[in-house]
Amino acid sequence: MYVLHGGPGLDNRYFGRSLAGLENYRKLYYIDFRGHGKSSKADKKTYTLETFTDDINALREALGHETIEILGHSMGGFVALLYALRYPAHLDTLILVGTTAKQTGIKGYYPLKAVLMYTNLKSYLQHLKNKNTYKESLTREILLKSCPIYVSYKFLPEYTDYIKSLRDVDIFFDMQQELQLFDVSEELENIHQPTLIIFGENDPLMEGGRVLKGIRQSRFSVIPSAKHLPFMEDEKYFNMVVREFLTGKML
């Protein structure tokens, strides 16, 4: 199973060992998108969801996997959805965690956007365009200030330390327009793979994520009391839901 992280600007490390409970059922491949984590840097023009999708397929071919399963979290779910639409013959199963079929125009998005724009981001974008050091420090500040939106209080210290450890987070800025334009909401009926959709009960994007029920063979599961990182906040329950799905008990 290919595990795709969220972002932009993050990497796969935030999963930690939270998915260890699945290792008796699947071999897990944790992937950093190009320009993220340990993956190579590239021309910023190639930092697109479409390119990331093609990269996943190139990796599949390199590893000799005829078909794959994908677990995509947040932005990683965007890539997972694109993979299902572009390479359906090579996808067996889809698991979407805290993701939506589009970013703008969904319930819960604009209040979230207002919080993330607390630094008057739009006013600074042009000014920061060629000042990468300042851009990176501002990005880190935004990520840290937005942590309480995504993560329950108990896990804030751990997640805050993770954010502080990130490098080259200015890709967060480079991909904002890319995320704004993402929209596959009218194509969901073309996805035919068994799909598990998971949200934390308190994830601000959950209501917007309900549109994913438009995938024909989909199941919608809610992790009680969790926010945007349900695999971290209730590891045992999250893994139980995924195991039941993978072993066919939910189908």
Q: Read out DSSP for 115-151?
A: HHTTT-HHHHHHHHTT-HHHHHHHHHHHHHHHHHHHS
21: CB partners within 8 A, 6+ apart: 235, 236, 239, 240, 243
Say what the pLDDT of residue 17 is. Answer: 94
Residues 126-183 have pLDDT tens digits of: 555 555 556 777 778 778 888 888 899 999 999 999 999 998 888 888 888 888 899 9
Q: What is the pLDDT of residue 250?
A: 45
Is 199 in a helix, a strand, or coil? strand
How many Å apart are CA 150 and CA 92, to the nearest integer? 29
Q: Average pLDDT over the chain, rounded to whole?
A: 88
**Domain range summary for the chain, segments of one domain joined by +:** 2-246
β-bridge partners, 68: 91
For residue range 54-99, list pLDDT tens digits in order.
999 999 999 999 999 999 999 999 999 999 999 999 999 999 999 9
Is residue 248 over pLDDT 90? no
Distances (CA, A) of 107 to 51, 74, 75, 200: 28, 16, 17, 15
Q: Residue 103's pLDDT band (boundaries 50, 70, 90)?
A: confident
In Å, the largest CA–CA distance within the chain is 54
- pLDDT tier for residue 242 given thresholds of 50, 70 and 90: very high
Superfamily of 2-246 according to CATH: Alpha/Beta hydrolase fold, catalytic domain (3.40.50.1820)
